[in-house]
A and B are shown apart, each in its own frame.
Chain A
Amino acid sequence: MNGIHDLGGKEGFGPVRFSPNAPVFHAPWEVRANALYSLAVKQGIYNMDEYRYAIERMEPRHYLNASYYERSLTSLASLCVEKGLVSHEELEHRAHGRFPLARPPAAGRPNQPGRERFVPGDLVRVREDHVSGHARMPGYIRGKIGRVVTESPPYPFPDAHAHGVAAQPEPTYDVQFNSLDLWPGCAEPAKVHVSVFQSYLERASEH
């Protein structure tokens, strides 16, 4: 989905709030929230793609204001409600107040038919797909041309796996893009490497 989570290349943000050796957790509830979402994955309540998609479906104002662990908690709670472990009403009763959840899911999709196998050195174009379901294609590479560097082992296709849609595992390709192709005239020179699922790619011809 073209959601608020898709931040790569968005402008207007200030300096990174960086400190070396920053603590991972700041409060006991954070480690609990992290543990609980991880437990639900281990228990088979949902998979990582469903988990990521439920974060992406958070109302944008909530997403931008929530800390990382609040987003984790919101995804966990949303999926527990959607999968029938508890009602939203009961959850709010137990929490003694409102418990904002993610917005409802859209439909997923199976793998791209007729997708191609690539080898390192191949020139590829990212398909101009727009989907409202889950996807792992950052918007900044849509329609862009890059070069395959390596192939990674097959993994369930996220656009299907987040939605319970049957699909085949497929490889991802490490594709190297030039930052000045991604944002022509408006980026600092760099190579940007993105792990791109096979279904998102088509062959491009040499210029």
Chain B
Amino acid sequence: MTPSTQQDPAKRVASIEDRVAAIESVLDDHAMQPDAFVNTFTEWATEEWLPANGARVVAKAWTEPDFHARLLANGIAAVSELGLPMPAHHRHLVALENTTTVHNVICCTLCSCTAFTIIGLPPDWYKDLEYRARVVRESRTVLREMGLELAPEVEIRVWDTTADTRYLVLPERPAGTEGWTQERLASLVTKEGLIGVARI
């Protein structure tokens, strides 16, 4: 119980919109120009931080062996070649390569950390209690429930984002895509594939 709920338990909780407006007015009082920043942020979140970024990275790695090696060696440097930035507190980007015998899947059991500039902001299910609680302990069942049935011989590696290293799953290139352009290959790669709850 917060101090004011103890003082006045009968008072109703303010609507979420009113709480947002209240805190926005406080930031405005301190000359932080929240309204302008909301517009800028909305543009970033809806037009720049998209899974299409990660899809371009994957398609380039599928078709250029030198880039593939650079991506595995230093993820942040490799994605910056495509003009893709990462926030200052993301100190390391690790590409996790799926093979016929290894499947990688990303989570954040403590909150919701993701390489959001590369794979997009995390969806609800990634931040929900169910995914965070279960995927580390019963990964095969969780993936099956989400529509991904893995063969019993495939080793599952679950990556819990508990520090400031960020991850990107590098899916296996689908068969039958020989000779495709990077653009066409990138169109196959989804946010779910980059998190590792789907195969491409």
Contact = CB atoms under 8 A, between A and B. Distances in A.
B159 A193 contact: yes
Nearest to B146: A18
A116 interface: no
A137 B163 CA distance: 9
B163 A172 contact: yes
The winner among A11, A40, A70 for most chain B CB atoms within 10 A is: A40
Interface in A75-125: 76-77, 80, 85-86, 88-89, 91-92, 94-101, 103
Interface residues of A, number: 85
B34 A39 contact: yes
A16 B163 contact: no
A14 to B, nearest CB: 6
Contact of A138 (B26, B109, B138, B192): B109
Contact of A13 (B1, B24, B134): B134
A167 interface: no
A85 B26 contact: yes
B192 A70 contact: no
Contact of B17 (A29, A40, A154, A179): A29
A50 B13 CA distance: 25
Interface in B3-18: 3-5, 8, 11-18
A154 B163 CA distance: 10
Given A18-B125, A24-B123, A97-B18, A6 B38 contact: no
A201 interface: no
Contacts, number: 254
Contacts of A136: 110, 162-163
B200 interface: no
10 contacts: A7-B132, A29-B20, A39-B37, A73-B23, A80-B23, A153-B92, A179-B158, A188-B141, A193-B157, A195-B164
Given A98-B5, A98-B11, A100-B2, 18 more contacts: A5-B111, A16-B125, A20-B190, A31-B41, A36-B20, A40-B27, A43-B30, A43-B32, A59-B1, A85-B30, A91-B26, A92-B11, A97-B15, A99-B4, A152-B165, A158-B163, A172-B165, A182-B137
